[in-house]
Structure 1
């Protein structure tokens, strides 16, 4: 067993004039934001604009997320795993919050970044926070990215990771009856698709899903996509570019494996926690998904952060609401009693 503790991020100076990315001509901040959120939007606005070298865009995305995160918390162990899949090697990172006499529940986690940017390092601090707040082992997946690997490559990687985790859970001191999926943004899309797929294929059985401002309908047609199209960090132009990377010209927007909001039915899905942001183009997608699940009888806890923007949960060094949201996820899982002691799980 190998353990790798990553270096701590450097804190971001309080100077609001600090720029983490190159200036973007004619960049504006949308109205209605609080000063602290407007400051963050100004600070990193344009970090994912189209036209920059893709490798540089990816580097900046990870740098920004690590820089704006809170002080990196210590955790019991971090373990790197490499698994074999039909597509090749797949890297995973396991965050264990504690050691004890009983197996822990786990969340298979997929990072955001429009299926195009993001990696294990961009969401390292968030995964540590989630492990501590929930008492779960967080298993982060370094899935293949678009445009080099468009749909369905990330779904295929996610499915292989889920099957591996289900099969090898006992060897990892993880309760195989207490596994859930989680992700933010594009990662929330992958998690939601996997939950539907697992239901339809008779397993692996999931005990919960945590969807953080998830992409659930890639048509980008709901009102929030237009109301928050510019000035709120994720722009409509950026989002559509991400979707284009992911789909690579495939006419599959109506397919539930791309847009889980388009699924024919939502019954039989695991208890769900959904986080949304009030100034997010994806706000209405998260709301709609929560509504569909609730209408199908699925236990849902939806927490909306009315003054936040897309991506906020990785920015707890500047936005206290991010840290509250992580704590709320832990409380929501507990209130669902998803990982009940009666079945060998436990939080």
Structure 2
């Protein structure tokens, strides 16, 4: 489906009209990675508001982002970048991770997990869980408060963040104080109304999501998919961290995010939900100066900041 037959926010119609078709990472992962680097490049420069230290944590490359001039024991956020499990902001700190650091005053550990197709599930999840454990174990070294450790991520990063909360609960792992799941992919089965409806080739759509899961799961694709790969497959959600879930109206992942929020509520897990009508997946990167993008970003950052107080 091309064109504006679905509702698109008036601020975004002109931006969408000028977008080319998205690159399918399952067909050309190098081209998809290059396309994402170009999209994020304007926001990848240095930022005097933060300091960045490169470290190896449990064998994984991470960046420890700290508010410039901050002292004392700070809250911490493990930030997991998005990118369909196959690409991401690997040339520097994720701009979203940097925004988290500035807005919340937290130490942010930005994890560069192994990527598919070279490293399908569970490689990326294992890396993220190992870094979460490392963060908790090195709280004194990092000068962070182990009682105020959150996880956050967008898209594939939202999936991995939700999976970390499930694993931490199941394994008696580090206590997670809050989970921020932004436009998360959570269900490999793709059986929702939004997944069937959103087919425009210019942004994340039904076909691209199906291809993403094929690449990420590899030989694990099938009926016995682990909830640490696709958190919607978890039978029980009680006991996980309080959550914030962001969805977008023109995103095929919308309904699985909203359904996960409903299931969290039913499990008596505190959850805040924000849906952005007329916006597509990661629209903020395409229209960063729009009022809609600024308001959406401010909303989830405020929720995360308040949760860490």
Assess same fold via TM > 0.5.
Answer: yes
Instruction: For structure 1, list consecutive stretches of 5 or more residues without a partner in the other structure.
Output: 1-26, 340-345
Structure 1 partner of 2:267: 296
| 1:149–1:50 CA distance, 2 compared to 1 (3 A) | closer
Query: What residue number does 2:88 align with?
Result: 118
Equivalent in the alignment of 2:129: 159
Q: Is the 8 A contact 2:8 2:277 kept in 1?
A: no
Contact 2:159 2:186 in 1 (8 A): yes
SS of the residue corresponding to residue 149 of structure 2 reads strand
Offset at residue 122 of structure 1 (A) = 7.5
Q: Structure 1 residues 84 and 285 mapped into 2: Cα distance closer, same or farther (>3 Å)? A: same
> CA 1:166–1:314 in structure 2 vs 1: closer, same or farther (change >3 Å)?
farther
How far residue 154 of structure 1 moved from its aligned partner, in angstroms, is 0.7
TM-score (norm 1): 0.81
Distance 1:262 1:313, change over 3 A: same
CA displacement 1:199-257 (0-9 Å, x = unmatched): 11112111010000101111111110012122561021111111111011323454312
Equivalent in the alignment of 2:24:
49
Deviating 4+ runs (over 4 angstroms): 69-73
- Please identify, of 321-330 and 286-295, the stretch whose mean Cα deviation from structure 2 is larger: 321-330
In 1, are the aligned partners of 2:39 and 2:285 still within 8 Å (CA)? no
226, 230, 235: which one pairs with 1:259? 230
- 1:315 & 1:298 partners in 2: Cα distance? 33
What residue in structure 1 maps to residue 282 of structure 2?
A: 311
**Contact 1:105–1:136 under 8 Å retained in 2:** yes
1:62 matched to 2:33? The reply is no
Residue 199 (structure 2) pairs with residue 233 (structure 1): no
Q: How many residues align?
A: 307
CA–CA distance in 1 between the matches of 2:268 and 2:129? 25
Q: Which residue of 2 aligns with 1:77?
A: 51
Deviations 1:85-140 (A, max 9, x none): 3xxxx211122124344211111111111111213348622221121122222211
Tell me, yes or no, if the aligned pair for 1:75 and 1:132 is still in contact at 8 Å.
yes
Is the helix fraction higher in 1 or 2? 2
Compute the displacement of 1:280 (Å). 0.4
In 2, the alpha carbon distance for the partners of 1:282 and 1:122 equals 27
Instruction: Quote the Cα distance in structure 1 between the aligned partners of 2:125 and 2:14.
Output: 35
List gaps (5 residues or longer) in structure 2: none
1:152 to partner: Cα distance: 0.6
**Distance in 1 between the 2:87 and 2:70 partners?**
36
Residue aligned with 2:199, SS: coil
Pairing of 1:260-275 with structure 2 (within 5 A): 260-275=231-246
TM-score when normalising by structure 2: 0.91
**Counterpart of 2:212?**
242
